[in-house]
Homo-oligomer: A and B are copies of this chain.
Protein backbone atom coordinates (compact mmCIF):
# COMPACT_ATOMS: atom_id res chain seq x y z
CA UNK A 1 0.00 0.00 0.00
CA UNK A 2 1.39 3.37 -0.95
CA UNK A 3 0.58 6.72 0.62
CA UNK A 4 0.70 9.80 -1.54
CA UNK A 5 1.40 11.94 1.51
CA UNK A 6 4.54 10.00 2.34
CA UNK A 7 5.66 10.09 -1.28
CA UNK A 8 5.40 13.86 -1.30
CA UNK A 9 7.16 14.18 2.05
CA UNK A 10 10.14 12.14 0.88
CA UNK A 11 10.47 14.27 -2.24
CA UNK A 12 11.18 17.23 0.04
CA UNK A 13 13.47 15.77 2.71
CA UNK A 14 14.77 12.45 4.05
CA UNK A 15 12.31 11.98 6.86
CA UNK A 16 12.88 9.01 9.14
CA UNK A 17 10.18 6.43 9.81
CA UNK A 18 9.86 7.88 13.29
CA UNK A 19 9.32 11.39 11.99
CA UNK A 20 6.67 10.19 9.57
CA UNK A 21 4.90 8.26 12.29
CA UNK A 22 4.83 11.35 14.48
CA UNK A 23 3.22 13.35 11.69
CA UNK A 24 0.65 10.67 10.87
CA UNK A 25 -0.29 10.50 14.55
CA UNK A 26 -1.43 14.10 14.40
CA UNK A 27 -3.47 13.88 11.21
CA UNK A 28 -7.24 13.35 11.13
CA UNK A 29 -9.18 12.30 8.08
CA UNK A 30 -11.93 14.61 6.98
CA UNK A 31 -14.32 14.94 4.08
CA UNK A 32 -15.11 18.31 2.56
CA UNK A 33 -18.05 18.38 0.18
CA UNK A 34 -17.84 20.31 -3.08
CA UNK A 35 -18.90 23.89 -2.39
CA UNK A 36 -18.11 23.71 1.33
CA UNK A 37 -15.34 25.71 2.96
CA UNK A 38 -12.14 24.44 4.54
CA UNK A 39 -11.70 28.02 5.76
CA UNK A 40 -14.53 30.55 5.72
CA UNK A 41 -13.97 34.20 4.78
CA UNK A 42 -12.94 36.26 7.82
CA UNK A 43 -12.39 33.29 10.11
CA UNK A 44 -9.14 32.52 11.88
CA UNK A 45 -7.32 29.59 10.34
CA UNK A 46 -6.75 26.83 12.88
CA UNK A 47 -5.91 23.88 10.64
CA UNK A 48 -3.34 22.82 8.13
CA UNK A 49 -4.14 19.92 5.83
CA UNK A 50 -2.91 17.52 3.18
CA UNK A 51 -5.23 16.88 0.24
CA UNK A 52 -5.62 13.19 -0.60
CA UNK A 53 -8.15 13.82 -3.34
CA UNK A 54 -10.09 16.71 -4.74
CA UNK A 55 -9.49 20.35 -5.53
CA UNK A 56 -9.83 23.63 -3.63
CA UNK A 57 -9.37 27.28 -4.41
CA UNK A 58 -7.90 30.02 -2.24
CA UNK A 59 -9.84 33.19 -2.92
CA UNK A 60 -10.55 36.72 -1.80
CA UNK A 61 -13.80 38.63 -2.10
CA UNK A 62 -14.22 41.83 -4.11
CA UNK A 63 -17.64 43.46 -4.47
CA UNK A 64 -19.13 40.11 -3.51
CA UNK A 65 -17.26 38.28 -6.26
CA UNK A 66 -14.93 35.41 -5.42
CA UNK A 67 -11.46 36.01 -6.90
CA UNK A 68 -9.20 32.94 -6.76
CA UNK A 69 -5.51 33.59 -6.07
CA UNK A 70 -4.40 29.96 -5.96
CA UNK A 71 -5.54 26.37 -6.42
CA UNK A 72 -4.52 23.26 -4.48
CA UNK A 73 -5.24 19.63 -5.32
CA UNK A 74 -4.44 16.03 -4.41
CA UNK A 75 -0.82 15.83 -3.28
CA UNK A 76 -0.72 19.43 -2.03
CA UNK A 77 -0.77 20.89 1.47
CA UNK A 78 -3.10 23.78 2.13
CA UNK A 79 -3.66 26.46 4.72
CA UNK A 80 -3.82 30.22 5.13
CA UNK A 81 -0.28 31.02 6.18
CA UNK A 82 -0.95 34.57 7.30
CA UNK A 83 -4.00 33.80 9.40
CA UNK A 84 -2.42 30.61 10.71
CA UNK A 85 0.77 32.26 11.91
CA UNK A 86 -0.60 35.60 13.09
CA UNK A 87 -4.00 34.52 14.41
CA UNK A 88 -5.70 37.23 12.37
CA UNK A 89 -8.96 36.76 10.44
CA UNK A 90 -8.10 35.38 7.03
CA UNK A 91 -8.24 37.55 3.93
CA UNK A 92 -8.07 34.41 1.84
CA UNK A 93 -10.81 31.81 2.17
CA UNK A 94 -10.48 28.21 1.02
CA UNK A 95 -13.38 26.43 -0.69
CA UNK A 96 -13.70 22.98 -2.23
CA UNK A 97 -14.32 22.98 -5.98
CA UNK A 98 -14.63 19.18 -5.84
CA UNK A 99 -15.41 16.69 -3.07
CA UNK A 100 -12.19 16.40 -1.05
CA UNK A 101 -10.65 13.87 1.28
CA UNK A 102 -8.09 15.61 3.44
CA UNK A 103 -5.95 14.93 6.53
CA UNK A 104 -5.69 17.87 8.87
CA UNK A 105 -3.84 18.93 12.02
CA UNK A 106 -4.07 21.93 14.35
CA UNK A 107 -1.62 24.78 14.79
CA UNK A 108 -0.62 23.42 18.19
CA UNK A 109 0.20 20.07 16.69
CA UNK A 110 2.27 21.74 14.01
CA UNK A 111 4.24 23.51 16.77
CA UNK A 112 4.83 20.15 18.46
CA UNK A 113 6.11 18.84 15.16
CA UNK A 114 8.56 21.73 14.87
CA UNK A 115 9.89 20.93 18.35
CA UNK A 116 10.16 17.22 17.58
CA UNK A 117 12.62 17.61 14.70
CA UNK A 118 14.23 20.55 12.89
CA UNK A 119 13.36 18.89 9.61
CA UNK A 120 9.73 19.98 9.93
CA UNK A 121 10.62 23.63 9.97
CA UNK A 122 12.65 23.20 6.80
CA UNK A 123 9.68 21.34 5.36
CA UNK A 124 7.36 24.22 6.12
CA UNK A 125 9.81 26.69 4.62
CA UNK A 126 10.00 24.63 1.47
CA UNK A 127 6.20 24.69 1.09
CA UNK A 128 6.08 28.43 1.72
CA UNK A 129 8.81 29.02 -0.82
CA UNK A 130 7.00 27.02 -3.49
CA UNK A 131 3.85 29.05 -3.13
CA UNK A 132 5.94 32.20 -2.98
CA UNK A 133 7.61 31.37 -6.29
CA UNK A 134 4.26 30.61 -7.91
CA UNK A 135 2.68 33.84 -6.75
CA UNK A 136 5.73 35.79 -7.86
CA UNK A 137 5.40 34.30 -11.33
CA UNK A 138 1.67 34.97 -11.49
CA UNK A 139 2.38 38.51 -10.41
CA UNK A 140 4.96 39.04 -13.15
CA UNK A 141 2.43 37.71 -15.66
CA UNK A 142 -0.06 40.37 -14.61
CA UNK A 143 2.49 43.14 -15.11
CA UNK A 144 3.86 41.78 -18.39
CA UNK A 145 1.04 40.11 -20.29
CA UNK A 146 -2.39 41.16 -21.56
CA UNK A 147 -5.49 39.09 -20.88
CA UNK A 148 -5.15 36.87 -23.96
CA UNK A 149 -1.52 36.03 -23.25
CA UNK A 150 -2.30 35.27 -19.61
CA UNK A 151 -5.01 32.85 -20.67
CA UNK A 152 -2.78 31.03 -23.17
CA UNK A 153 -0.04 30.79 -20.60
CA UNK A 154 -2.49 29.38 -18.07
CA UNK A 155 -3.74 26.81 -20.60
CA UNK A 156 -0.19 25.73 -21.37
CA UNK A 157 1.03 25.58 -17.79
CA UNK A 158 -2.07 24.33 -15.99
CA UNK A 159 -3.84 21.97 -18.41
CA UNK A 160 -4.74 19.94 -15.32
CA UNK A 161 -6.94 22.78 -14.10
CA UNK A 162 -8.66 23.81 -17.34
CA UNK A 163 -11.33 21.12 -17.09
CA UNK A 164 -11.66 21.07 -13.32
CA UNK A 165 -12.16 24.77 -12.59
CA UNK A 166 -15.28 26.63 -13.82
CA UNK A 167 -14.36 29.20 -16.43
CA UNK A 168 -15.68 32.15 -14.51
CA UNK A 169 -13.21 31.31 -11.74
CA UNK A 170 -10.37 31.00 -14.25
CA UNK A 171 -11.38 34.39 -15.63
CA UNK A 172 -11.34 35.92 -12.16
CA UNK A 173 -7.98 34.28 -11.44
CA UNK A 174 -6.62 35.92 -14.60
CA UNK A 175 -8.12 39.27 -13.68
CA UNK A 176 -10.70 39.46 -16.46
CA UNK A 177 -14.50 39.15 -16.83
CA UNK A 178 -16.09 35.85 -17.89
CA UNK A 179 -17.45 37.46 -21.07
CA UNK A 180 -13.99 38.63 -22.02
CA UNK A 181 -12.60 35.14 -21.51
CA UNK A 182 -15.37 33.75 -23.72
CA UNK A 183 -14.43 36.25 -26.41
CA UNK A 184 -10.74 35.36 -26.18
CA UNK A 185 -11.59 31.65 -26.50
CA UNK A 186 -13.80 32.29 -29.50
CA UNK A 187 -11.41 34.50 -31.45
CA UNK A 188 -8.54 32.05 -30.93
- Residues of A bordering B, CB below 8 Å: 60, 62, 67, 69, 81-82, 85, 91-92, 118, 121-122, 124-125, 128-129, 131-133, 135-136, 138-140, 142-144, 172-175
In Å, the complex CA distance between A173 and B173 comes to 19
Which residues from chain B contact A92 at a C-beta distance below 8 Å? 136
By the criterion CB–CB under 8 Å, are A129 and B129 in contact?
Answer: no
A98 to chain B, nearest CB (A): 22
Q: Is the CB of B175 within 8 A of A129?
A: no
Distance in angstroms between the alpha carbons of A136 and B69 in the assembled complex: 8
- A interface: dominant SS: helix
Chain B residues within 8 Å of A143, by CB: 62, 67, 69, 142, 172-175
Report the bound CA distance from A101 to B64 in whole Å.
Answer: 46
On chain B, the residues within 8 Å of A122 by CB distance are: 121
Closest chain B CB from A96 CB (angstroms): 21
Identify the interface centre among A133, A135, A140, A173: most chain B CB within 10 Å of its CB: A140
Partner of A139, one of B124, B125, B138: B138
Enumerate chain B residues within 8 angstroms of A132, measured Cβ to Cβ. Answer: 81, 128, 131-132, 135
Taking the closest CB of chain B, its distance from the CB of A72, in whole angstroms, is 15
Tell me the minimal C-beta distance from A4 to chain B in angstroms: 25
CB distance from A37 to the nearest CB of B (A): 18
Which of A81, A122, A175: most chain B CB closer than 10 A? A175
| Distance to closest chain B CB from A19 (angstroms) | 17
Shortest beta-carbon distance from A116 to chain B in Å: 14
Residues of chain B with a CB closer than 8 A to A173's CB = 143
Residue of B whose beta carbon sits closest to that of A62: B144
CA distance A129 to B121 in the complex (A): 13
What are some 26 contacts across the A-B interface (CB < 8 A)?
A: A60-B140, A60-B144, A62-B143, A67-B140, A67-B144, A69-B139, A69-B140, A69-B143, A85-B129, A92-B136, A118-B118, A121-B122, A121-B125, A125-B128, A128-B128, A128-B132, A132-B135, A135-B135, A135-B136, A135-B139, A139-B142, A142-B143, A142-B175, A143-B172, A143-B173, A144-B175
